[in-house]
């Protein structure tokens, strides 16, 4: 059973400047809730009991958001509006935080979760990918494969060829409908990777991944890439890919962010 999840939320969000100068991408509103809350809820709906959020110096707003606001509560009480206090922002899960002191990439951020994972398998959810799944939450879909294989499982989805350069891209052999045994992965390929399976921001790792996160060299963009550690993992263990059922929205892309906000509005206001 996977009970722990790491949510890396320390990036600069450069694709979404200038707003990310002051508003972290993870706090972009989708309706009245920030993006990261949807990811925390997905983790909870999948059975996660402890979450480590990796923040950076400029992300204190995330820590504040998931906490009580005494000031707001006493204000509402004084105004006889206590009924508004029902604070949906405080999730029913133990949250831990750590800071990534240097912007060294996703691989470095996940590496900081080594003591949190304590030698157990764990999940990683990237909060800029919001997956609207009809039935089973995206992470739970990966957990179901983990339960059968006890190996690492990477969330994938099929994207258009011209989009592949923006993602980690996996190749592998289908062993079931929507499940591949992976044999290669490349971060942001510059040549045809021979596959259209892009990594979506959902992962389950055995603790072996830390061996490689501790030994990789900087890769694409001069950053420590999680993808490079996954590639090393193939040498030691099997790694599976699960094509996730559901629609993925990358909130770092303006068009997908707007589509997601529309989707949320329509689904909460009864429109199709
Ligand atoms: C990261 C990963 C990439 C993955 C993507 C999913 O890239 O490095 O492999 O496909 O998330 O969103 P980033 O979006 O940080 O450039």
Question: What does the pLDDT look like over 41-94, one tens digit per residue?
Answer: 999 999 999 999 999 998 999 999 998 888 888 998 899 888 887 777 888 888
- Report the pLDDT averaged over residues 101-110: 95
Counting Cβ atoms within 10 Å, is residue 232 exposed (0-12), middle (13-18) or buried (19+)?
A: middle
Number of domains in the chain: 1
Task: Please answer whether residues 95 and 215 qualify as being in contact, where contact means their C-beta atoms are separated by less than 8 angstroms.
Answer: no
As a whole number of angstroms, the longest Cα–Cα distance in the chain is 63
Q: Is pLDDT above 60 for 272? A: no
- Measured from the CA of 250, which atom of ligand 1 is nearest? 12
Summary mean pLDDT of the chain? 94
Ligand 1 center from residue 223 Cα (angstroms): 12
* Helical packing angle, 138-149 and 35-45, nearest 10°: 40
- By the 10 Å C-beta count (0-12 exposed, 13-18 middle, 19+ buried), 216 is classed as buried
Q: How far is Cα 264 from Cα 270, in angstroms, rounded to an integer?
A: 10
Q: Do 61 and 14 contact (CB within 8 A), yes or no?
A: no
Backbone angles phi, psi at 223, to 5 degrees: -110, 155
Cα separation of 122 and 131, whole Å?
A: 19
Question: Rg of the chain over CA atoms, in angstroms?
Answer: 19
Q: Report the separation in Å between the CA atom of 64 and the middle of ligand 1, taken as the mean of its atom positions.
A: 26
Domain of 251, CATH number, reads 3.90.550.10
Q: What is the arithmetic mean of pLDDT over 4-25?
A: 93
Question: Which of these ranges, 142-146, 219-223, 267-271, has the smallest mean pLDDT?
Answer: 267-271
What is the CB < 6 Å shell around ligand 1?
106, 126, 129, 167-168, 187, 198-201, 225-227, 250
Q: What angle do CA 37, 127, 186 make, to 5 degrees?
A: 165
The pLDDT assigned to 271 comes to: 65
pLDDT at 90: 83
Query: 201 CA to middle of ligand 1, Å?
Result: 7
Say if CB 123 and CB 79 are below 8 A apart. no
Spatial CA neighbour of 54 closest among 119, 126, 121: 126
Rounded distance between C-alpha atoms, residue 219 and residue 240, angstroms: 23
CB 228 within 8 A of CB 215: no
Q: Domain limits at 212?
A: 4-268
Query: What is the mean predicted confidence (pLDDT) over 178-202?
Result: 94
Which whole number is the average pLDDT over 99-106? 94
92 Cα–ligand 1 center, Å: 28
- Asked if 35 contacts 28 with a C-beta cutoff of 8 angstroms, the reply is yes
pTM over 0.85: yes
* Mean pLDDT computed over 125-154: 96
Residue 160 has pLDDT above 90, yes or no: yes
pLDDT above 90 as % of the chain = 82
pLDDT > 60? residue 30: yes
Query: What ligand 1 atom has the least distance to the C-alpha of 185?
Result: 9
**Is the pLDDT reported for residue 108 higher than 90?**
yes
Mutate to test the pocket of ligand 1, among 107, 154, 198, 201 (most ligand atoms within 8 A of CB): 201
């Amino acid at each position: 059973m996977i009970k722990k999840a790491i949510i890396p939320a320390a990036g600069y969000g450069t694709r979404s400047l200038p707003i990310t100068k002051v508003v972290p991408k993870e706090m972009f509103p989708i309706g009245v809730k920030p993006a990261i809350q949807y990811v925390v809820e997905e983790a909870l709906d999948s059975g996660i009991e402890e979450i480590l959020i990796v923040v950076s110096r400029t992300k204190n707003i995330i820590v504040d958001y998931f906490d009580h606001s005494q000031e707001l509560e006493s204000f509402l009480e004084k105004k006889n509006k206590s009924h508004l206090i029902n604070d949906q922002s405080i999730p029913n899960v133990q949250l831990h935080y750590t800071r990534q002191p240097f912007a060294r990439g996703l691989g470095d951020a996940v590496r900081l979760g080594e003591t949190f994972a304590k030698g157990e398998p764990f999940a990683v959810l990237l909060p800029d990918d919001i997956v609207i799944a009809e039935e089973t939450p995206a992470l739970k879909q990966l957990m179901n494969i983990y339960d059968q294989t006890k190996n690492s499982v990477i969330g994938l989805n099929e994207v258009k060829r011209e989009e592949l350069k923006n993602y980690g891209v996996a190749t592998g052999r289908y062993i079931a409908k929507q499940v591949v045994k992976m044999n290669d992965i490349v971060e942001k390929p510059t040549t045809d990777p021979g596959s259209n399976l892009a990594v979506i921001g959902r992962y389950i790792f055995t603790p072996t991944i830390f061996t490689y996160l501790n030994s990789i060299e900087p890769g694409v963009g001069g950053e420590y890439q999680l993808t490079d550690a996954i590639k090393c993992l193939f040498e030691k263990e099997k790694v599976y890919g699960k094509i996730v059922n559901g629609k993925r929205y990358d909130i770092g892309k303006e068009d997908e962010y707007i589509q997601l906000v529309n989707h949320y509005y329509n689904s909460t206001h009864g429109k199709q």
